[in-house]
């Protein structure tokens, strides 16, 4: 499953993601990974969650991020959920160019039964059509 929290800054997208990640980590069914571009959220997440500050790694663009995610998945088949906060901040690409990225994520989600949850800042009227099935 893929879910996207899409909206303007300050709408509570990150807070919802933190709540979902903490809840998922408390279920003990599988491992949870939370990827962000700073360390600001590390103390809001349960210690069982694998927090990754993406800026610690040389990931540039959506293809590099999808490869990074594949690396995470290949090392741990027990991952239940991957949360990525601020997708367009991380990849530094316009959301309209990320259809192929979401296709890769869809494949990983189905193949490995992983829930992917993203937050993306943007105006609803500018949201590309390929995101509609994932919008929360």
Structural domain that includes position 24: 2-134
Phi (first) and psi of residue 117, to 5 degrees: -125, 125
Tell me the pLDDT tens digit for each residue of 16-29.
999 999 999 887 78
Predicted model pTM = 0.94
Instruction: Answer for the pair 31, 51: CB distance below 8 angstroms, yes or no.
Output: no
Instruction: Answer for the pair 94, 127: CB distance below 8 angstroms, yes or no.
Output: no
Position 11 confidence tier, pLDDT thresholds 50, 70, 90: confident
pLDDT of residue 129: 92
Lowest-pLDDT choice from 21-30, 62-71, 84-93, 99-108: 21-30
Q: Residue 103: name the closest of 74, 136, 131, 71 by CA.
A: 131
Domain count for the chain: 1
Position 71 confidence tier, pLDDT thresholds 50, 70, 90: very high
Token couple for 72: 């995470």
- How far apart are alpha carbons 50 and 71 in whole angstroms? 14
The domain that contains 86 carries what CATH number? 3.40.50.300
């Amino acid at each position: 499953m893929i879910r996207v929290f899409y909206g303007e800054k300050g709408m509570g997208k990150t807070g919802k993601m933190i709540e979902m990640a903490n809840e998922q980590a408390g279920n003990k069914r599988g491992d949870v990974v939370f990827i962000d571009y700073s360390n600001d959220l590390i103390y809001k997440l349960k210690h069982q969650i694998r927090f990754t500050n993406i800026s610690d790694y040389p990931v540039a663009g959506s293809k590099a991020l999808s490869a990074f995610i594949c690396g995470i998945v290949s090392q741990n088949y027990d991952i239940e959920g991957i949360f990525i906060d601020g997708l367009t901040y991380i990849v530094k690409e316009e959301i309209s160019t990320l259809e192929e990225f979401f296709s890769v994520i869809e494949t990983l989600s189905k193949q490995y039964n992983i829930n992917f949850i993203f937050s993306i800042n943007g105006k609803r009227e500018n949201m590309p059509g390929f995101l509609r099935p994932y919008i929360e």
